[in-house]
Structure 1
């Protein structure tokens, strides 16, 4: 049985880093974002310099950012 992805408004409040493929660590800037959690990953979307960007991170890593208050859920 498949579950419906959940979209959540959130705010990046401290450095949130992710790796794009095998490249260097990149940082999501502080500010509002949207999060879609599905299965074992979370996709974060945000706007930077007027351009929409996104990053997929493992759910366990996403949970660590939430626990450390780097990502604040339920805000816009």
Structure 2
């Protein structure tokens, strides 16, 4: 019997607003790629182009991560601990 419930990559946080850690492997892949690209930018962009460009680079990656969480995650809303 298959479940009709949508499987989210990023569940909503129990407390507060936003998403928690990934619950499926696809979410973990996105998470790891994000951190690898941030580290690569710190190594390549920061020393060669300076802090302002690195901040822009990291900001763009973070916006991309938030967009992926928005599409593949549970709807974010303020939560007080109950589901």
Normalised to the residue count of structure 1, the TM-score between the two structures is 0.30
User: Which structure: greater strand fraction?
Assistant: 1
User: Which structure: greater helix fraction?
Assistant: 2
Task: Determine which structure has more spread, i.e. the larger CA radius of gyration.
Answer: 2
Structure having greater relative contact order (Cα 8 Å, sep ≥ 6): 2
